[in-house]
Amino acid sequence: SYVLTQPPSVSVAPGKTARITCGGNNIGSKSVHWYQQKPGQAPVLVIYYDSDRPSGIPERFSGSNSGNTATLTISRVEAGDEADYYCQVWDSSSDQGVFGGGTKLTVL
């Protein structure tokens, strides 16, 4: 089955740029979606189809996807961005959804 690999944690100072990676075999050929989840809350879609932002998501959130790595970039990080972030794809070869293990973003 398809596997997505994320770093367990990323730390960043306020105002700086955070980059969260999601690795997978030829992930560039798939559409990647990213979710933000804060403690006790349901996930929120922040990026879909690699780089599109849902309405209401700040422009500070952006995404890219190429080769074996997809990246969620959060610019001008704020304390409120502290959360768990998950990447996700639909694996058409197995007809199954796949989530990465999640990355805890800590704002220093």
β-pair partners for 34: 47, 87
Q: Which of 29, 54, 76, 108 binds other proteins (CB under 8 A)?
A: 54
9 in contact with other proteins (CB under 8 A): no
Q: Which helix (H) or strand (E) holds 83?
A: strand 83-91
Q: Which is nearer to other proteins, 40 or 80 (CB)?
A: 40
User: Rounded to whole angstroms, how far apart are CA atoms 85 and 44?
Assistant: 9
List interacting residues with other proteins (CB under 8 A).
1, 31, 33, 35, 37, 42-45, 48-49, 54, 84, 86, 88, 90, 95-102
